[in-house]
């Protein structure tokens, strides 16, 4: 009886994590499609993907239990957790250096962002 309850708790927790991660990834995909400019799209893509990836891998690790698969999943999570934000940083850095600036006319507010060209 106790084992059955334990199995069901693990199953429900893992599917909760997997569905939550899928929701994050879906929201990120909608943000990529619907946001107005490069910077907000990058934000939608990177932040929600990291969260969704962690939740999905946690859910899959719960499904596979204490096995080699879980060990490999932890390594994949570490790798993606390091490389994802790094690649986002590289893309944003290249865009900033090549002259792309965030829109500063959102909601009719002029000069909402500081002038990045000016020397401090």
Partner 1 sequence: MINHHHLILRVVTKLLVGAIILFAFYVQFHGDFSPGGGFQAGVLMAAAFIIYGLVFGLDKTQEVLPPWVVHKLSALGVLIYSGTGVWSMMLGYPFLDYGAFDPGHPSHGQHTGILAVEAGVGLTVAAVMVTIYYGFGARYPHISDEDW
Positions in the binding site for partner 1 (CB under 8 A): 79, 82-83, 86, 89-90, 93, 97
Closest approach, Cβ 53 to partner 1, in A, equals 17
Closest approach, Cβ 65 to partner 1, in A, equals 20
Q: Tell me the CA distances in angstroms from 82 to 1, 17, 28, 35, 37, one per residue in order.
A: 42, 21, 19, 25, 25
Closest approach, Cβ 25 to partner 1, in A, equals 23
Give the Cα separation of 6 and 18 in Å (integer): 18
**Residue number with CB closer to partner 1 (19 or 79):** 79
**Residue number with CB closer to partner 1 (35 or 81):** 81
Kindly give, in sequence order, each residue whose CB lies less than 8 Å from that of residue 106, ignoring residues fewer than 6 positions away: 112
């Amino acid at each position: 009886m106790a084992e059955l309850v334990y199995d069901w708790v693990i199953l429900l927790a893992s599917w909760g994590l997997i569905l939550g991660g899928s929701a994050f990834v879906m929201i990120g995909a909608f943000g990529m499609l619907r946001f107005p400019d490069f910077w907000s799209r990058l934000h939608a893509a990177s932040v929600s993907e990291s969260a969704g990836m962690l939740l999905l891998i946690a859910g899959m690790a719960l499904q596979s239990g204490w096995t080699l698969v879980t060990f490999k999943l932890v390594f994949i999570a570490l790798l993606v957790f390091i490389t994802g934000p790094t690649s986002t940083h590289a893309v944003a850095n290249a865009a900033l250096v090549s002259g792309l600036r965030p829109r500063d006319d959102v909601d009719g507010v002029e000069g909402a962002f500081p002038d990045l060209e000016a020397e401090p």
